[in-house]
Amino acid sequence: MRLKEPRLAPLSDEEMNEELRARFGDGPILNIFRTLAHHPKLTKRWLVFGNHVLAKSTLAPREREIVILRVGWLCRCGYEWGQHVEIGLGSGLSNEEIERITQGPDAPGWNALDQALLRATDELHGDSFISDETWAALSQHLEIQQIMDLIFAVGQYQIVSMALNSLGVQPEPGLPELPPR
């Protein structure tokens, strides 16, 4: 984690906007949502887009989690990494694959699609552009809507990583830590 303490303390149940609190039902509310609840209008609108990227994307869950974990790694976002290691394991990634995500697209062991997903994520993160070569590799495995969902997933998780890092959102206890570079 970049910050040991939050810059913006997560809101308690009593402090949260009633509409946002109702949206999460009776279950536990994660620190990300408790922190973003300081800005209820932003959070309400962001949740719609975030829900598409996380739950309604045309990317298969395993592919989506490869992208999200790589963004978390590249942005050095410990909160995002910890949350999505758990989600990635539940989406079909192995511990070995999750560790390999930190090594990038050229690490041995990736299939052609996984390598293209990682390369596209690296290119979008570093240059805000997918090269022709990577686009062609993605096009061999994905439909255009899936490529579009990939682009927006990278953008969504870069924004989220920037917010989490800058606000100092602390992970829930027991989540995996971001491995060192």
Do residue 48 and residue 64 come from a single domain? no
pTM exceeds 0.85: yes
Q: 90-141 pLDDT, tens per residue?
A: 999 999 999 999 999 999 999 999 999 999 999 999 999 999 999 999 999 9
Do residue 50 and residue 115 come from a single domain? no
Do residue 36 and residue 63 come from a single domain? no
Q: Is residue 179 in some structural domain?
A: no
What is the pLDDT at residue 2? 87
Q: Is residue 3 in some structural domain?
A: no
Q: Is residue 139 in some structural domain?
A: yes
Do residue 78 and residue 153 come from a single domain? yes
Using DSSP, state whether 147 is helix, strand or coil: helix
Q: How many residues does this entry show for the chain?
A: 181
Do residue 49 and residue 77 come from a single domain? no
Q: Is residue 25 in some structural domain?
A: yes
Do residue 109 and residue 34 come from a single domain? no
Do residue 75 and residue 25 come from a single domain? no
Do residue 73 and residue 26 come from a single domain? no
Q: Is residue 126 in some structural domain?
A: yes
What is the pLDDT at residue 24? 83
Do residue 38 and residue 126 come from a single domain? no
Pairwise CA distance, residues 78 & 84, whole Å: 10
> Which residues are within 8 A (CB) of 59 and not within 5 positions of it... i.e. 6 or more apart?
67, 142, 146, 149, 150, 153
Q: Is residue 31 in some structural domain?
A: yes
Pairwise CA distance, residues 66 & 80, whole Å: 12
Pairwise CA distance, residues 152 & 86, whole Å: 22
CATH number at residue 86: 1.20.1290.10
Q: Answer left, alpha or beta for residue 180, where phi above 0 means left and psi between -120 and 50 means alpha.
A: beta
Token output for 75: 């942005």
> Domain range for residue 25?
18-54
What parts of the chain have a pLDDT lower than 50?
none
DSSP 66-100: HHHHHHHHHTT-HHHHHHHHHHHHHTT--HHHHHH
Please answer whether residues 30 and 13 qualify as being in contact, where contact means their C-beta atoms are separated by less than 8 angstroms: no
What is the pLDDT at residue 33? 95
Pairwise CA distance, residues 149 & 59, whole Å: 7
- Total count of domains within the chain: 2
Do residue 141 and residue 162 come from a single domain? yes
Do residue 86 and residue 162 come from a single domain? yes
